[in-house]
Amino acid sequence: MSYGIITVAFGQAAQVSVQRLKRSVGDIPLEVIDQPCHDLYPPYSDEFNNWQLHKLAVDRLSPFEYTLYLDADTVVQGDVMAGFELLDQGWDVLMSFSEKQGGRAMWHIGPEERDYTVQLLRHQPLQLQAGVLFFAKNPAVTALFAAWRHEWMCYGGKDQAAFLRALHNSGPVRLGLLGRPWNTSKSDAQTQVLHRFGAARMVGR
Amino acid sequence: MPTHVEFIRGMTLNYEGRQVSVRPGDRLHVDNSLAARLKRTGNVRLVTDDLAPSEPAVEYRAPIKTSWLDWPENAAMMWTPGTPLPPNDQLVAAQGIIQSYDVVLWLQDYEHVARDLNIRLPDLPTDLVPVFYPHFVVVQLNEWGQELVAYWRQQVAEHGNLTAGLLAAYWHIKPIAAYMPAWGGAK
């Protein structure tokens, strides 16, 4: 199997963050998308050079069979090979969930989009966090990413609510749930990926 | 950790802010001080065998507790009687979700992983995985759902641990799963 990490880092602040990420990944191949790919969304390439749309297209941009997408403001602290092994065992996607749940879920999403998402799902969902995302290349995952891009374009902005709607609307995906140490802002002995939320804040602006 | 008690006598008590009527034989997880008080008055016995192989989760296909809850024919609930149920809105949502997923799982909490609870998953490359609430699980009665339940029961029979058995089954069977948020009663 081919495996590796991909990240999207547009802008100076993101570039600084990604240097820290590079140092942390060891021997695992790292693909950095640092320039808009103008043929990604033809014929609207000028309108769609947003970094987030590139994040939502990493299924198409990744050269790997098994990919770990990481936000540019993350640092690998543990052994992430377990995630690739789980993909090899048959999972389509592996990810963790947000710190904020329940009444605080989707706190950073606009009220209109938040209400629409809850209305569509018909319950307060578990808020997943897509800044650390293992995925395989297969038709189910391709459909999920396509649905994610479609949902994101409805509102723009943050992508978590769009991801929940994409999961709801796309075909079935074998999504394995990882514990918080795989995507956490707390650094301790269990931490696999440290997420320094906001460290690459200027990305894409 | 709350204490698992079985009621010897029927009574009404304040449970998590609600007035709950219990019958002899009903079981609940209650905080330790309440358990001690109930034990002193002879109303309960402490349950020490809730992880024993002889007591797996009980399968219910009929509506539970709330008569308005109309579960689809192709779904089954695994519920340990006497343990808390998820909030009504999540139960209602699960009714629809289970039509397109193999299993609906609730998180036990947001912080703990299998390693914290000394749950060993020998076939899994990481033990930093979340723990699911084992006392209420909804499965679709398709091949994957039934395999999950069969494997779970086998694990409980072999190792006697409902929580570890569910995790082992989940990672072994790899179901199309829907994940529901934790809630107070799951802790």
Residue of chain A whose Cα is closest to the Cα of B96: A122
Location of structure tokens 């914290």: B116
* C-alpha span between B23 and B21 (Å, rounded): 7
Q: Can you say whether the dihedral through the CA atoms of B105, B106, B108, B109 is positive or negative?
A: positive
Chain A residue numbers with beta carbons less than 8 Å from the beta carbon of B181 are 101-102, 105, 124-127
**pLDDT confidence band for B36 (50 / 70 / 90):** confident
Strands A30-33 and A3-8: parallel
Closest in A86, A124, A175 to B181, CB measured? A124
Residue of chain B whose Cα is closest to the Cα of A81: B125
User: What are the φ and ψ backbone dihedral angles of A158, each rounded to 5 degrees?
Assistant: -70, 155
pLDDT 10s digits, B78-96: 877 777 888 888 888 888 8
Question: Integer distance in angstroms from the first to the last C-alpha of chain B?
Answer: 8
pLDDT (average), residues B6-27:
73
Location of structure tokens 């989760």: B57
pLDDT 10s digits, A147-171: 999 999 888 888 999 999 999 988 7
* C-alpha span between A133 and B107 (Å, rounded): 19
